[in-house]
């Protein structure tokens, strides 16, 4: 891969369908980074095993995710796009880092405590050491920037701790300390259609727009979005349900369309039915090409396999160098 550029790593969860919140929160960040950074983006299939997914579903999930990311604009020529399980060096580094991770600190991680509460019947060691595997994902490429949301901050802090612990113990700055990164000024919050919370947090499928929703379903979901009887007086503050519609519109509609409806709100002539119709059509125009491209890509299994293979090759070239250095520092270098 190109040298001289800063290294970026991010893992894409392999469960669940991609939605508009993922697109504007993560994928669009990736697409912008692929131009200026040396990017390693991977499907986190090993991570998904903590919950024992049905083996029949795994391949389909991985291929769908690849197809949806490529259809959204991720270019496998520009980035290394791979499956975590195709890079055994990650597992090896995970083992090495586990020797530097303490049971006590792992038990204190909020995401682990949540899981213990939610699935007490399956508190396995993979769940406990999830942050160690995530650290290995990142440190294996000696990345310095990691595009993730706020919910991953704690995991990144652990990655920094493990990096530092390794460097201190073995007396060399092998691992830089990675930081969370995104084009913050352009981060758009994508609200859910039921007027509460973010689309990514939504448990209500009708309030979430997926990248594989049909045109008809997109229209139906948008038309069902909550509104009210309109502003009671000029300059009335906008309730959240309405400001959410504007946020959604800003993300996919032409600026003049948004301005017109904003003006209509201000002078109390707004008709929410018209606004939702416009939003629905603009949403369809936005999502349909991604959906169609992703569907076509999913049919082309040989192509997806080639992408995975090429990606794994690029990732392993970088990972092998790190492991060679790590082994030597630890003293596992019997043939040199
Ligand atoms: N834990 C991340 C999430 O839940 C996914 C992930 C796994 C990841 N490994 C990573 C993200 C490495 C960034 C870097 O979204």
What percent of the chain shows pLDDT beyond 90?
Answer: 85
Tell me: the pLDDT tens digits for 51-63? Answer: 999 999 999 999 9
7-189+301-330: CATH, from 3.40.50.300, 3.40.50.620, 3.40.50.720, 2.40.110.10: 3.40.50.620
How many Å separate Cα 74 from the centre of its chain?
13
The model carries a pTM of 0.92
User: Ligand 1 within 6 A of 146 CB?
Assistant: yes
The pLDDT, as a whole number, for residue 202 is 62
Residue nearest to atom 7 of ligand 1 (CA): 11
Which class is domain 212-294? mainly alpha
Distance between CA atoms of residues 233 and 320, nearest Å:
66
Q: How far is the CA of 13 from the centre of ligand 1 (A)?
A: 7
Examine the residue annotation and report whether 314 is marked as an active-site residue of this protein.
no
Tell me: the pLDDT tens digits for 186-241? Answer: 566 799 998 878 887 667 899 999 999 999 999 999 999 989 988 888 888 899 99
Domain positions in the chain are 7-189+301-330, 212-294
Residue nearest to atom 10 of ligand 1 (CA): 11
Sign of CA pseudo-dihedral 108, 109, 110, 116: negative
Distance between CA atoms of residues 165 and 159, nearest Å:
10
Helix (H) or strand (E) holding 80: strand 80-83
**Which tokens belong to 78?**
């520009």
User: Ligand 1 within 6 A of 156 CB?
Assistant: no
Which of 158, 153, 193 shows the shortest CA–CA distance to 177?
158
Are domains 7-189+301-330 and 212-294 of this chain identical in fold? no
How many Å separate Cα 178 from the centre of its chain?
17
Examine the residue annotation and report whether 198 is marked as an active-site residue of this protein.
yes
Distance between CA atoms of residues 235 and 328, nearest Å:
68
User: Ligand 1 within 6 A of 28 CB?
Assistant: no
Tell me: the pLDDT tens digits for 131-156? Answer: 999 999 999 999 999 998 888 999 99
Tell me: the pLDDT tens digits for 257-305? Answer: 999 999 999 999 999 999 999 999 999 999 999 999 999 999 999 999 9
Which residues are 180's β-sheet partners?
Answer: 146
Residue nearest to atom 3 of ligand 1 (CA): 13
Tell whether the model's pLDDT for residue 162 goes beyond 80.
yes
Q: To the nearest 5 percent, what fractions of the chain are helix, strand and coil? A: 60, 10, 30
DSSP string of 184-244, one letter each residue: GGG----B-TTSSSBGGG---GGG--BTT--HHHHHHHHHTS---S--SSTTPPPPHHHHH
């Amino acid at each position: 891969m190109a040298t001289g550029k800063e290294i970026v790593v991010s893992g894409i969860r392999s469960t669940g369908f991609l939605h508009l919140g993922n697109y504007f929160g993560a994928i669009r960040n990736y697409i912008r980074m692929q131009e200026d950074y040396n990017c390693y983006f991977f499907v986190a299939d090993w991570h998904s095993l903590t919950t024992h997914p049905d083996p029949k579903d795994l391949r389909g999930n991985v291929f769908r995710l690849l197809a949806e990311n490529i259809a959204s604009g991720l270019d496998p020529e520009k980035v290394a796009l791979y499956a975590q399980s195709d890079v055994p060096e990650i597992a090896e580094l995970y083992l090495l880092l586990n020797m530097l991770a303490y049971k006590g600190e792992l038990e204190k991680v909020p995401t682990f405590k949540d899981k213990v509460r939610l699935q007490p019947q399956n508190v396995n060691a993979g769940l406990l050491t999830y942050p160690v595997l995530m650290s290995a994902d990142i440190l294996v490429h000696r990345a310095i920037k990691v595009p993730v949301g706020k919910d991953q901050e704690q995991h990144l802090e652990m990655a920094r701790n493990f990096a530092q612990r390794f460097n201190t113990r073995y007396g060399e700055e092998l691992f830089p300390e990675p930081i969370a990164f995104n084009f913050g000024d352009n981060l758009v919050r994508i609200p859910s259609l039921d007027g509460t919370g973010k689309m990514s947090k939504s448990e209500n499928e009708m309030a979430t727009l997926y990248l594989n929703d049909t045109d008809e379903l997109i229209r139906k979901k948008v038309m069902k979005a909550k509104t009210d009887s309109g502003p009671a007086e000029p300059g009335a503050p906008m309730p959240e349900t309405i400001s959410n519609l504007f946020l959604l519109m800003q993300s996919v509609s032409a600026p003049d369309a948004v301005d017109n409806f904003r003006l209509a709100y201000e002078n109390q002539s707004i008709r929410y039915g018209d606004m939702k119709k416009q939003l629905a059509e603009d949403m369809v125009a936005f999502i349909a090409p991604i959906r169609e491209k992703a569907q076509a890509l999913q049919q082309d299994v040989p192509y997806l396999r080639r992408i995975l293979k090429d990606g794994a090759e690029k990732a392993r070239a970088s990972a092998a160098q790190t492991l060679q250095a790590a082994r030597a520092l630890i003293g596992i270098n019997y043939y040199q």
